[in-house]
Chains A and B, each alone.
Chain A
Amino acid sequence: MDVKPADQPAMPAYPERKEFLRQRNLLGASLLGAGMLLGACDQRPVRTGGVPAPAPRPLGSRPMPTAHPSKAQPPGKTPATPKTVDPPNRTMGKIRVEPVPIEPPPRLMGDVMVVPKPDAPVPDPTKQEDPPRVPGEPPPR
Chain B
Amino acid sequence: MDILIILEDNNGNIHRMGLESIVAAQQLGSELGLSTGALVMGANADALAEEASQYNVDEVIKVNDPLLASYSADGYSEAVKQIIEQENPTYVLFGHTYQVRDYAPRVSAKLMKPFLVDNVALSTEGGKVVFTKQMFNAKLFSDVIPSGEGPYLVSFQSAAFSADNAASGSASVREGSVNLDASMIKTESEEPFQEEAGGVDLTSADLIVSVGRGIGKEENIPLAQELAKALGAELASSRPVVDAGWLPSAHQVGSSGQSVSPKMYLALGISGAIQHVVGMKGSKNIVAINKDPEAPIFEIADYGVVGDVLEIVPKLTEALQ
Q: Do A and B come from one complex?
A: no
